[in-house]
């Protein structure tokens, strides 16, 4: 079935999708994904989100406008969420910091939201030129209510009645991403960097959209960042749970919070390129919600038949290893150490406890922590050395984390043996390891991280055999 190809022209007319004018011959999975897409009824609402690179200049905005016009012509009511053009948000941020090292949080949020306000209006102008009626919305007008925390607000409610009215008038609703109105003070708040993805999924959930399409500058979600690993392979279908693990392991293509939101509300997501018509990656909602979801047969068939068990390998250099040597024997010592780390707001990734080489009867505790927190952790633990009673503290910043993401991995012994064999064949020594059902993390020397990533991807058949990935520009 995987090798089976089908011409789009062979599909019944109601299954053909006007947007798909890419390759004529589709693989089995692409066919499956296409069918899933075309299961959308012609009047189903689609939420489309265009990232910064997709609206970076006038030509890009025109291309987006044409795409919107086509989707609308196909009969879909449309809500479009846009990010700021290109690097606008970074530039605004740099400008603010050049004026004050710590700009007032409220002013900073007001400043940053202007980036998205520019892109929505430019897109409305481009749509008007094509004769497509549209209306622009700030986050506030779109009804996105947040907890009011500047710079990293969470959405607490969505009241999209203005958008519904706009859709009723058959206009395209264009919403500025990454922003909302604080619940109490009604101030403008931003959702955190990359937050337009969250805006899109939140609106898709509130409006009951059939699909949330995330348009970006790569063809979909790959087994590794295609800009760093050109031979990475595109994933056709992936579950929300797996995608969350990918995001947690450092894949930046989708915001982790947007995936959590999509899982909670059962929103299917299609990550695809705004620079071509190829099908991208379909992220199916949680398995728990499959019963409520129209596209159940795809969930049942795709991962079991087509998905490899392991879907991605990620390499992360931004971790450090900390070893607390010779922790005195006694109940509650680990609790003291972890209590201290929690108070310092440090996210501990992996923990390994061994019999101590530094103190008889004691233990050595090794942890992987984000390297940006390294200094704080060392300072907090050193200050408590006497109270906790450990012999020494070792800090190692020259390590990296390799993560394997997939489904049901812990229960498949083959995965472990293949991973260890690949690493030992490549001469890589494992320092720490942790495993969950969907993820195996190993800590190794940073110097061999790249080689190890390549060896493991090869061992699991995750590299593309032919051409490299399509990235734009
Ligand atoms: P946008 O501006 O459209 O929101 P982002 O920069 O947030 O785009 O996300 C797209 C980028 O994510 C790609 O250019 C790619 O380099 C990066 N990326 C990181 N990991 C992956 C992955 N596993 N698959 C695809 N892209 C990835
Ligand atoms: N413009 C914002 C950022 O760059 C939000 C987004 O692009 O999603 O972080
Ligand atoms: Mg993004």
Res. 472 pLDDT band, cuts 50 70 90: low
Q: Hey, whose CA ends up nearest to atom 6 of ligand 2?
A: 194
The CA-atom distances, in angstroms, between 452 and each of 48, 400, 422, 445 are: 37, 10, 8, 10
Distance from the alpha carbon of residue 178 to the mean position of ligand 2, in angstroms: 6
User: Tens digits of per-residue pLDDT, 161-190?
Assistant: 999 999 999 999 999 999 999 998 889 999
Task: Tell me what percent of the residues of the chain surpass a pLDDT of 70.
Answer: 82
Distance from the alpha carbon of residue 390 to the mean position of ligand 2, in angstroms: 44
Say yes or no to pLDDT of 437 above 70: no
Q: Hey, whose CA ends up nearest to atom 4 of ligand 1?
A: 51
Say yes or no to pLDDT of 430 above 70: yes
Query: 293-307, 319-333, 334-348, 359-373: lowest mean pLDDT where?
Result: 293-307
Closest ligand 1 atom, residue 216 Cα: 3
Which pLDDT belongs to residue 22? 33
Task: Tell me what percent of the residues of the chain surpass a pLDDT of 90.
Answer: 42
Highest mean pLDDT among 200-204, 263-267, 390-394, 406-410: 200-204
Say yes or no to pLDDT of 121 above 50: yes
Backbone angles phi, psi at 357, to 5 degrees: -90, -15
Which pLDDT belongs to residue 232? 86
User: Tens digits of per-residue pLDDT, 308-325?
Assistant: 467 778 888 888 988 998
Q: How many residues does the chain have?
A: 473
193 lines ligand 2 (CB under 6 A): yes
User: Tens digits of per-residue pLDDT, 122-137?
Assistant: 999 999 999 999 999 9
Distance from the alpha carbon of residue 259 to the mean position of ligand 1, in angstroms: 15
Given this structure, which CATH class describes domain 309-473?
alpha beta
Q: Hey, whose CA ends up nearest to atom 5 of ligand 2?
A: 194
Closest ligand 2 atom, residue 90 Cα: 4
Closest ligand 1 atom, residue 471 Cα: 14
406 lines ligand 2 (CB under 6 A): no
HSE (side-chain half, CA atoms, 13 Å) at 182: 16
Give every CB contact of residue 104 below 8 A, 6+ residues apart in sequence: none
Per-position b or e across 438-455, b if 16+ CB within 10 A of its CB: bbbbbbbebebbeebbbb
139 lines ligand 2 (CB under 6 A): no
Distance from the alpha carbon of residue 308 to the mean position of ligand 1, in angstroms: 22
Distance from the alpha carbon of residue 196 to the mean position of ligand 3, in angstroms: 7
Q: Hey, whose CA ends up nearest to atom 16 of ligand 1?
A: 227
For ligand 1, which residues put their CB under 6 angstroms from it? 51-54, 83, 194, 216-218, 221-222, 224-227, 251-253
Which pLDDT belongs to residue 41? 66
Residue 96, class by beta-carbon neighbours within 10 Å (0-12 exposed, 13-18 middle, 19+ buried)?
middle
Q: Hey, whose CA ends up nearest to atom 9 of ligand 1?
A: 253
Which token pair is 127?
């749509």
Question: Per-domain residue ranges for the chain?
Answer: 6-308, 309-473
Report the mean per-residue pLDDT for the chain: 82
The CA-atom distances, in angstroms, between 454 and each of 6, 402, 429 are: 33, 11, 15
The DSSP symbol for 177 reads S
Say yes or no to pLDDT of 25 above 80: no
Distance from the alpha carbon of residue 33 to the mean position of ligand 2, in angstroms: 28
Distance from the alpha carbon of residue 238 to the mean position of ligand 3, in angstroms: 18
Q: Hey, whose CA ends up nearest to atom 25 of ligand 1?
A: 221
Distance from the alpha carbon of residue 92 to the mean position of ligand 3, in angstroms: 17
Which pLDDT belongs to residue 471? 53
List the end-to-end C-alpha distance of the chain, in Å, as a whole number: 34
Distance from the alpha carbon of residue 471 to the mean position of ligand 2, in angstroms: 19
Ligand 2: which of 193, 202, 252 to mutate, most ligand atoms within 8 Å of CB? 193
Which pLDDT belongs to residue 181? 96
Res. 258 pLDDT band, cuts 50 70 90: very high
Closest ligand 1 atom, residue 217 Cα: 14
Which pLDDT belongs to residue 237? 84
User: Span 6-308: which CATH code?
Assistant: 3.40.1160.10
Calpha distance 151→112 (Å, rounded)? 9
Residues, Cβ < 5 Å to ion ligand 3: 51, 194
* Bond preceding residue 36 cis, omega within 30 of 0: no
Ligand 1: which of 84, 226, 253, 405 to mutate, most ligand atoms within 8 Å of CB? 253
Distance from the alpha carbon of residue 198 to the mean position of ligand 1, in angstroms: 15
């Amino acid at each position: 079935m995987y090798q089976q190809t089908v011409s789009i022209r062979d599909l019944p007319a109601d299954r053909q999708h006007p947007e798909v004018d890419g390759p004529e011959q589709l693989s089995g999975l692409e066919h499956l994904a296409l069918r899933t897409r075309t299961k959308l009824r012609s009047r189903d609402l689609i939420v489309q989100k265009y990232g910064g690179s997709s609206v970076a200049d006038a030509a890009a905005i025109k291309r987006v406008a044409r795409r919107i016009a086509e989707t609308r012509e196909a009969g879909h009511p449309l809500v479009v969420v846009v990010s700021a053009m290109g690097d606008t948000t970074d530039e605004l941020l740099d400008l603010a910091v050049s004026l004050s090292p710590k700009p007032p949080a409220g002013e900073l949020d007001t400043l940053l939201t202007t980036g998205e306000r520019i892109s929505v209006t430019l897109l409305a102008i481009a749509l008007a030129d094509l004769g497509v009626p549209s209306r622009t919305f700030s986050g506030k007008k779109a009804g996105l209510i947040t907890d009011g925390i500047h710079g990293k607000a969470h959405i607490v409610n969505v009241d999209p009645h203005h958008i519904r009215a706009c859709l009723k008038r058959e206009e395209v609703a264009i919403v500025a991403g990454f922003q909302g109105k604080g619940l109490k003070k009604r101030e403008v708040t931003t959702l955190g960097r990359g937050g337009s993805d969250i805006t899109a999924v939140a609106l898709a959930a509130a409006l009951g959209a059939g699909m949330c399409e995330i348009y970006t500058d790569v063809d979909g979600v790959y087994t590794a960042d295609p800009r760093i690993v050109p031979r990475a392979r595109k994933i056709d279908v992936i579950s929300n749970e797996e995608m969350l693990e990918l995001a947690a392991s450092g894949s930046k293509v989708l915001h982790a919070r947007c995936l959590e939101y999509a899982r909670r509300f059962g929103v299917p997501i299609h990550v695809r390129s705004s620079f071509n018509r190829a099908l991208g990656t379909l992220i199916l909602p949680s398995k728990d919600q499959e019963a409520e979801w129209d596209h159940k047969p795809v969930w049942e068939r795709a991962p079991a038949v087509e998905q490899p068990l392991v879907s991605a390998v990620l390499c992360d250099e931004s971790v450090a290893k900390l070893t607390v040597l010779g922790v005195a024997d006694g109940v509650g010592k680990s609790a003291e150490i972890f209590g201290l780390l929690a108070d310092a707001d440090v996210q501990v990734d992996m923990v390994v406890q061994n019999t101590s080489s530094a103190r008889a009867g004691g233990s050595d505790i090794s942890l992987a922590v984000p390297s940006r927190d390294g200094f704080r952790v060392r300072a907090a633990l050193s200050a408590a050395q006497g109270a906790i009673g450990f012999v020494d503290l070792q800090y190692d910043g020259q390590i990296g984390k390799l993560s394997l993401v997939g489904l049901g991995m812990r229960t498949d012994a083959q995965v472990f043996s293949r991973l260890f064999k690949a690493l030992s064949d490549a001469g890589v020594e494992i320092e720490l390891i942790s495993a969950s059902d969907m993820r195996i993390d190993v800590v190794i020397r940073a110097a061999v991280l790249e080689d190890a990533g390549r060896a493991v991807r090869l061992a699991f058949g995750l590299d593309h055999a032919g051409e490299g990935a399509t990235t734009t520009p």
